Amino acid sequence: MRGARSLATCWPVAETLWWEAAMEEPGLSGCPLSAKTASFQDAVRTLNTLQTNANYLEMVKRKRGDPQTQLEAMKLYLARSGLQVEDLDQLNIIHITGTKGKGSTCAFTERILRSYGLKTGFFSSPHLVQVRERIRINGQPISSELFTKHFWRLYHRLEETKDDSSCVSMPGYFRFLTLMAFHVFLQEKVDLAVLEVGIGGAYDCTNIIRKPVVCGITSLGIDHTGLLGDTMEKIAWQKGGIFKSGVPAFTVLQPDEPLAVLRDRAQQISCPLYLCPPLQALEEGGPPLTLGLEGEHQWSNAALALQVARCWLQQKGYQDAGELKASRPSLPGQLPLAPVFQPTPRMQQGLRHTEWPGRTQLLRRGPLTWYLDGAHPPSSMQACVRWFRQALHRCERPDSGSEVRVLLFNSTGDRDSAALLKLLQPCQFDYAIFCPNLAEMASTDNADQQNFTVTLDQVLLRCLAHQQHWSRLHEEQVSPDPWSTPGQEQDGPASLLLAPHPPHTHSASSLVFSCISHALQWITQGRDPLFQPPSPPRGLLAHPVADSGAMVLQEAAAIHVLVTGSLHLVGGVLKLLEPSLSQ
């Protein structure tokens, strides 16, 4: 293999090796800058030195440490930062994990409680455009000034207490940000903190907390198998690791086997675990609930958020927490059902006003409609496909001219990209575009975009593999559309096929670009009124498919672009389409 060139791709992924962080290479920061003179970008560049370079990361993958010791290491970092685990009890924490929808559930929960006039903290990952998005106060990313101040205060404190003889003198990227979130929330005196688990639960560095007020587990699925295990039961065991004795916990309907694992985990430590009734049960007898996030899969997330928020309010002595309806008895041997209650007007307001960029998000720009969803596990991709096709059904058809569908895709880590692409096939895309999670080829001016955990060779080879999977799927002519209703004619009125449809094959209509900017330049053909980059680089359209496709896109009456497979990819697209997010 050629030399491992460090790549400034979008968003650090070092946290995927969260329980191996004790072996991370020390940061190459040199002499730290003065907190008084350093800029926000200086802080982020220094933060990026806590990433692990690609070669070292490969060695770490082959030689894993004991995950339990990593929690102990995190407690030591916390102590070196000037806090004890007991100090975190003041944060009145809501702890959320799961495979699908944990970020959306956190967003719903935070917005509901903010509707009660509470000052909220919210820690999440990954970020889409700027790293400060991960630490929010009252729903807004902390300011660049606040980030810079707290970053240098924590960084210097850890620098002063590090042991140069140790191989882990500074915490890794995700651990550092977790520590920083704790400090920010305590210093800003939030009334509560919503913590989204990074990966798993049992050994995630957020799990050093002793006494959350309430915990929640969203829908489970297969993801991060190299870290969490290759079965739903193993993954459920990891997720159930956030349960604490005597702390109420809630989950949504799960397959029987992983649900049994969660139940056993809860019983072993005397954690009261409840199963959330569906959202429709809470709507009965009251006004229909409106969600700020699109997609049927968000109903489950909203149902969990309502139960978690109500439990928090009750635990803290609030009276206006929703009037109980007639309770539904639990079946013998099953989890007890969470209460069915009437959501209060403030809860309804919170659900309605929830925003969570990059998840079932629509942007309409001239003839282009962007459908942004960072789905990456297979079950999330199924939900994404349902949402995309339903959204297409609802949109107005142009009076004349063609409509074109474009897929912009990437996936990272140990995910099965072939399986994800197979789920996307029924969408009948005209063009499939693959590119790395790299906003622009030269991103050194924006430290938020730097990532040293992968190489340019690796990510480009991965994109070429995606293209090959896509071509093979077409050639295999796999089974009929699993999303269509049996007996429906493919060209019938309920079909989601676009017409007129250019006569070409998927294998002949896929392209790989070296960065997101080049991909967007080709897709938009200058027709997005807000995305107006410099003229495309020489040779960008020097491919027959790119050349002929450009003509199709220039003449289309409507262009529908689904961006999916990776939240990092979605973030890179948002960075270019919405420049204000970078300010």
Question: DSSP string covering 216-266, please?
Answer: EE-B-----HHHH-SSHHHHHHHHGGG--TT--EEE----HHHHHHHHHHH
| Residue 268: Cβ within 10 Å count | 11
CA distance 274 to 325: 17
Residue with tokens 């109500």: 310
Quick one: which H or E segment has residue 272? none
b/e string for 189-198 if b means 16 or more Cβ within 10 A?
ebbbbbbbbb
d(CA 573, CA 349): 30
Residue 67: what are its φ and ψ, rounded to 5°? Answer: -65, -30
Pairing of strands 249-251, 120-123: unpaired
C-alpha 465/C-alpha 361 separation (Å) is 27
**Which secondary-structure segment (H or E) carries 44?**
helix 40-48
125 labelled binding-site residue? yes
The answer to whether 472 is annotated as binding is: no
**DSSP secondary structure string for all residues of 445-474:** T-GGG---SSBHHHHHHHHHHHHHHHHHHH
Please tell me the distance from the alpha carbon of residue 287 to that of residue 490, in angstroms, as a whole number: 37
Decide the pairing of beta strands 403-409 and 368-372: unpaired
Kindly give, in sequence order, each residue whose CB lies less than 8 Å from that of residue 267, ignoring residues fewer than 6 positions away. Answer: none
296 labeled part of a ligand binding site: no
Rounded Cα–Cα distance for residues 139 and 275 (Å): 27
Q: Please answer whether residues 549 and 375 qualify as being in contact, where contact means their C-beta atoms are separated by less than 8 angstroms.
A: no
**Strands 368-372 and 558-564, how do they pair?**
parallel
Kindly give, in sequence order, each residue whose CB lies less than 8 Å from that of residue 573, ignoring residues fewer than 6 positions away.
370, 372, 408, 516, 520, 563
CB 189 within 8 Å of CB 159: no
* 411 marked as binding residue: no
Q: Give the closest residue to 274 by CA, choosing from 319, 243, 241, 295.
A: 243
Alpha-carbon torsion (62, 67, 71, 72), positive or negative: negative
Pairing of strands 431-434, 510-512: parallel
Backbone angles phi, psi at 412, to 5 degrees: -130, 180
Task: Tell me if 359 is assigned to a ligand binding site.
Answer: yes
Tell me the helix, strand and coil percentages in the chain, rounded to 5: 45, 10, 45
List residues forming the annotated binding site: 125, 196, 224, 359, 373
Cite the annotated binding site for Mg(2+) by residue number.
Answer: 125, 196, 224
- Binding-site residues for ATP: 359, 373
